[in-house]
Amino acid sequence: MKNMWRDYDPAGFFDELMYSKHQPRSFSYKLLDYFQGMQNEAFQQRVNESELEMLERGITFTVYSDAGNIDRAWPFDVIPRAIPKQEWLRTEKGLKQRIRALNQFIQDIYNEGNIIKQGIMPAEVVYQSKGYRPQCQGMTPPHGIWANICGSDLVRDQDGTLYVLEDNLRVPSGVSYMLENRKTTKRVFPELFRLLNISPVDAYPERLAEMLTSLRPDLSNPTIVLLTPGVYNSAYYEHAFLAQQAGLILLEGADLQVGADDYVYMKTIHGLERVDVIYRRIDDDFIDPEVFRPDSMLGVPGIMRSWRAGKVAIANAPGCGVADDKVIYAYVPDMIRYYLDEEPILKNVPTWLCRKEEELEHVLAHLPDLVVKPANESGGYGMLVGPHASEEKVEEFRLLLRDNPENYIAQPTLALSVSPTSCGDTIAPRHVDLRPFILSGEAIYVTPGGLTRVALVEGSLVVNSSQGGGSKDTWIVDERPVEEED
Amino acid sequence: MLSRVGERVFWLARYLERVENTARLVNVHTSLLMDLPEHNEINWFTLATIFDAKDAYFERYERVNEYDIMYFLLADPSYSGSLSNSILALRENARTSIDVLPEILWEQINELHLLVKGELSSVGNRRRRQKLLLTITEKCQCVWGIIANHMSRNFAYDFLQSGKFLERVDMTSRILEMTSMLVAETRNEEMRQHEGILWATLLRSLSAQQMYIQVNDSSLKADKVLMFLITDNRFPRSLSFAMNALGNYLNYLPRAESVLQKQQSILRRVQQYDVRQTPAETIQNMMDELQVSLTELNAHITSNWFYPDFSVT
């Protein structure tokens, strides 16, 4: 039988593991040697093992469709994506720099508003953003940090340059899959870990608990809970997993109430008990029906009152989604220069703001070549990928842009990098991105690597799990030789 | 501990115990029927009677036969008491209380769910069914083993044990009720020949045969068997033992007084049951009454810990 790798060809895309068709990169040489040396049947058997493993451990996500909600096994590709440690250290530095600036920005706009007064950003961009919450004006959360948990999406272009595609600051998900992917690789390919120096990822739950504890410096042993929208949320598995691993109390809005003293209480078998820190996995819109959407059944009436009175810490802080806005994204490099007086280490994807007359004209003139995104959506919804879209779709967006230019940005269509991926009976290049997770409390912690998402459909650039994406274990590889064991 | 989580783990244990008992009962009953002549009073429908499911059965099926009874009790998605629905409920309760349970417990329960899902179509095949039921029993025992050896003795543990023993008393009483009716004096000659097999089956369906033989002798006498299953203080599936153990675990929980009162009154009644020379009908009434009290006790537990009045701050 022919080797599954024989016809592998990244065809002009930047390949995460290969210099060219047959030439591995220096840090991926041993990894590829291992996989390419495997018999097809042996490889297929490991693939089956990994699928069974995910299924038995109940690692699922929910897909919503007209036919009803289905719990699907998490799609996992067994071939890891590797990044050399030297490159990663620089990326990590860039991510820390970025989150510092973003947090200073949020603190600034809900307080002095200096960045606007100084003319660096136009007021309407900030105050008209959907994520801006006037109810948060005047607040300073613990340590002045608003975005305690951030999941930035990084992508690589054709020439290998790494860009930040977006900063997910509201309720980023995926970290449990990063941890589960590693666990699965360790169970299915234990031999690999003897060949290479791979940074462990399992510190995350502990770091999360530390960060959340640091949000109540006044208490020695705060009660910390994870607020989930419930079992029907597509990320419920992750909520339960993180609560279990980090020792948080998993609960839903109905388990909480705000007392006359403005403290938040949970309903326990002892009666009501005070809650000090809430890691919420519910959007601002739903968190407090007294303040935001009155029809929300998921949140806790009065919780904003309690937060404003400093009687409970909420991570991420309400209102932090303002920095998640794609128009505001375009200003992040300016923020870094303004707040930190540093040059950005990581690049933004070049972005045209349709609110500016001349940039809108450029966008309209090149629409079929561009990616157009609404300012305030996530999960890959509501966007146009010009080169892959039908003519009607392009015309539809032309109208949307003319009607409501403030709400859109456009970016060049990046030729996302690829990585070898198991596709049925062959190995083929598939586009990938990377979502590292950044924790900010008293200190900043970045996961070594993160979650690599992969577009499993040939040619597709959409990596979201809700739209046919899969994931890979991500290795930060130290190229120094592995010390031999006795 | 959250009230909601208390409720979930309590029911997790009830379903786990129910799944194990149901699997064992159906398994043992099948082997009993192989030993009995055809056309006797014990048949496949006896099983539906034990689960109080006469009406539910005839709403769905016209005739009584092995296949329909087995499908109904084990696989019917429309009958809430079917084994497959109990396993779904078990899994859902585990999934929503994962943060207080050992990680491997969830994996085992999920594997049980996958196993049963894949094998349900084979319930009509006796050999495969018997094998499946044995595997289910083993998986349940594995889960109890994880709970015993990997869990701290915390409130979650106490609720698990409470749920288990409450369910066990309920199931034991149902099986006793049915069996006593079948061997009542009024039954015909032919059935009396098989009495020995019946008592052995009763003991085996409660996993009690060996423990019975160790304290009695191997002769299976109605009075002795019934007294063993009702009052023995050392066998963990007897009514008396399970009812007493339930009290021990409830006692660890906060504000347990009113619930304990109820539990104690049931325990006293169980300890006073004397079924020697008692007509089968009386035993049936006793067990009926016991099941009603258990439902009341469950309601007490629910209102005391799971849905108390939280309106006062």
With an 8 Å Cβ cutoff, is B103 touching chain A? Answer: yes
Instruction: List CB contacts (< 8 A) between B5 and chain A.
Output: 250
- pLDDT tens digits, A226-235: 999 998 888 8
Measured CA to CA in angstroms, residue B298 lies from A103, A212, A458, B156, B168 at distances of 51, 38, 56, 17, 13
Contact (CB, 8 A) for A110 and A139: yes
Instruction: List CB contacts (< 8 A) between A268 and chain B.
Output: 1-3
Decide if pLDDT at A72 tops 80.
no
Mean pLDDT of all residues in chain B?
91
Measured CA to CA in angstroms, residue B58 lies from A200, A366, B63, B264 at distances of 59, 69, 8, 38
**Where does residue B125 rank: exposed (0-12), middle (13-18), buried (19+ CB within 10 A)?**
middle
Beta strands in A131-286 (DSSP E): 149-156, 162-168, 197-198, 224-227, 249-251, 256-258, 264-268, 271-275, 277-280
3-state helix, strand, coil in chain B (%, to 5): 75, 0, 25
> Of A287-291, B34-38, B243-247, where does the model show the most confidence?
B243-247
Token digits of residue B216: 């009695």
Nearest CA in chain A to B115: A56
In sequence order, the 6+-apart residues with CB closer than 8 A to the CB of B44 are: B33, B64, B65, B66, B69, B70
Token digits of residue B37: 């002549």
CB pairs under 8 A between A and B: 69
Chain A nearest CA to B18, separation (Å): 22
Quick one: average pLDDT of A240-249?
94
Q: Do A244 and B98 touch (CB under 8 A)?
A: yes
> Nearest 5°: phi and psi at A404?
-145, 60
Nearest CA in chain B to A226: B99
Instruction: List CB contacts (< 8 A) between A228 and chain B.
Output: none
d(CA B232, CA B215): 10
Contact (CB, 8 A) for A54 and A228: no
Instruction: List CB contacts (< 8 A) between B313 and chain A.
Output: 257, 259-261, 265, 272
Q: Do A272 and B310 touch (CB under 8 A)?
A: yes
With an 8 Å Cβ cutoff, is B152 touching chain A? Answer: no
Beta strands in A108-161 (DSSP E): 149-156
Chain A nearest CA to B82, separation (Å): 22
Confidence of residue A252 (pLDDT cuts 50, 70, 90): very high
d(CA A430, CA A419): 6
The per-residue pLDDT for B180 is: 80
Nearest CA in chain B to A228: B96
Helix (H) or strand (E) holding A31: helix A29-36
The per-residue pLDDT for A175 is: 95
Chain A nearest CA to B288, separation (Å): 31
pTM exceeds 0.80:
yes
- pLDDT tens digits, B93-116: 999 999 999 989 999 999 999 999
Q: Do B305 and A257 touch (CB under 8 A)?
A: no
Interface test mutation site (partner A, options B1, B87, B90, B98, max chain A beta carbons within 10 A): B98
Instruction: Estimate to the nearest angstrom the gap between the alpha carbon of A370 and the chain centroid.
Output: 23
d(CA A141, CA A228): 21
Instruction: Identify residue A19 by its one-letter amino acid code.
Output: Y
Out of A56, A250, A251, whose CB is closest to B114?
A56
Chain A nearest CA to B216, separation (Å): 43
Task: Report the candidate in A411, A430, A432, A373 with the shortest Cα–Cα distance to residue A155.
Answer: A432
When mean pLDDT is compared across A193-207, A437-451, A464-478, the lowest value belongs to A464-478
With an 8 Å Cβ cutoff, is B277 touching chain A? Answer: no
Instruction: List CB contacts (< 8 A) between B103 and chain A.
Output: 244
Instruction: List CB contacts (< 8 A) between B107 and chain A.
Output: 56-58
Which DSSP string do the residues of B102-156 spell out, in sequence order? -HHHHHHHHHHHHHHHHHGGGTTSHHHHHHHHHHHHHHHHHHHHHHHHHS-SSHH
Instruction: List CB contacts (< 8 A) between B250 and chain A.
Output: none
Instruction: Identify residue A179 by its one-letter amino acid code.
Output: L
d(CA A361, CA A462): 27
The per-residue pLDDT for B313 is: 47
Instruction: Identify residue A423 by its one-letter amino acid code.
Output: C
d(CA B93, CA A475): 35
Chain B nearest CA to A55, separation (Å): 8
d(CA A246, CA A205): 5
Decide if pLDDT at B21 tops 50.
yes
